[in-house]
Amino acid sequence: MKRREFLQSGLALTGGLLTAAPRHALAASTAEAPAEFPAGFLWGSATAAYQVEGAAREDGRGESVWDRFSHTPGKTKNGDTGDVACDTYHRYREDVALMKKMNMKTCRFSIAWPRIQPVGTGAVNMKGVDYYKRFIDELHQAGIRPFPTLYHWDLPQPLEDAGGWPNRDTAGRFEDYVDLVMQHLGDRAGQWAIFNEPKTFTGVGYWAGRHAPGKTDPLNFVKATHTVNLAQGMAFRVIKSHQPNAQVGGAFDVSMMMPATESEADRAAAERWTKFQNLWFLYPPLRGHYPEGVLQADRQNELLGFKDGDEKIMRAPLDFVGLNYYSRFTVSDAPEGNGVPGLNTKALWADGPHEKTDLGWDIWPEGFYEILKVMTKETGGLPIEITESGCAYNTGPDDQGRVHDKKRIAYLDAICASCRAPSRTACRCAPITAGA
């Protein structure tokens, strides 16, 4: 089946939910929406520039860490790259037309840093700016909310060569990049996400090594988390300086952390992992400090590269919190350590007794409701928008080119049901966006 035929089937996207304050109340996306969905109901899509744009060497775009990583033999399945991807750079009008036909009302997409600043510093690349102007204008004309993400993992390779996110100077380079974006595109969108999944691009990129840039240094990884938190606060202020009324937040991937056993040690380990995975990039902007009891206390500032005044730089009164939900962790105590001083955990992603996706991820719809409760409490009642949720299956087209996507439909039904059970009528949830 051709890409657009698959999308046209209306089954290529997953779904998400919103807990909204009144200022986030949005018009219903379809007259056919079930009565159970509140007025804030929206369906939409979420993508990353490197996943969809292609045109990797066109119109002045520079090399990113994902270009370098995907072109390194053995790093991706079948040696696949994003050189062409979905070719959205050339075919964005077709994509937006498909979104409109599917009655989507919101589109989260990312702006590629190397398309705006090819080497991560210096002057703006106006051909890159012009592409995003055309794309955003097309969304507006289709009645679809543009929801840009400023960073979805595509660090310009020259900045990685200079030390990447573990290098504190990268926060300043990111601030400059955000300033350029806001100068040229700031008036075209009312809601901005600063980072997508900071714990993933730091942890999987600099600690586990499975994502770009493919590093496996736990101490540099810890420094990277602090640089990102500094950059988050700096970017927030830049955005507000250009557009004071903009709604600014981020997309944070969160999971329920389940102790492997009922032992006190495993329960404590699950609590440490919760703080490190779910709260490490939220406490600094909202509270000005890191969660306690995660890193070795007498070495925390050294490990982070923390300097006097950093607590003020990190602070950012976010307008909303975006959450990405997929699965769960099973966590056990690891007295032998895991490379991060003081953390002492062993965590298995998506390990559990439930049905699995084709990636082996645990399907646990009830966890969606549980994590909403946890994060609502931790974020002080800020509006929460589910910026991604879904399940990965390798279901392909049949002989007639049709995708019978029953498993994803069942997943969405179960997610929605987890929040509208009779005992949960106080939960103000409404589906809104999708992770593609």
Active-site residues, by number, are 197, 388
What secondary structure letter does DSSP report for 282?
T
Q: Which tokens sit at 406?
A: 């029953």
Burial per residue of 115-145, b for 16 or more beta-carbon CB atoms within 10 angstroms, e otherwise: bbbbebeeebbeebbebbeebbebbeebebb
* Residue carrying the six token digits 């702006």: 111
Helix intervals (H) in 71-150: 88-101, 113-116, 126-141
Q: Which tokens sit at 268?
A: 């404590």
User: How big, in percent rounded to 5, are the helix, strand and coil portions of the chain?
Assistant: 40, 15, 45
Q: In sequence order, which residues have a C-beta less than 8 Å from that of residue 318 and are 6 or more positions away?
A: 236, 248, 249, 250, 285, 286, 382
What secondary structure letter does DSSP report for 290?
P
Q: In sequence order, which residues have a C-beta less than 8 Å from that of residue 309 and are 6 or more positions away?
A: none
Phi, psi for 241 (deg, rounded to 5): -70, -30
The backbone region for 357, taken as left when phi is positive above 0, alpha when psi lies in -120 to 50, beta otherwise, is: beta
* Residue carrying the six token digits 């990685």: 160
Specify which residues 221 forms β-bridges with: none
Q: How close are the terminal C-alpha atoms of the chain, in Å?
A: 17
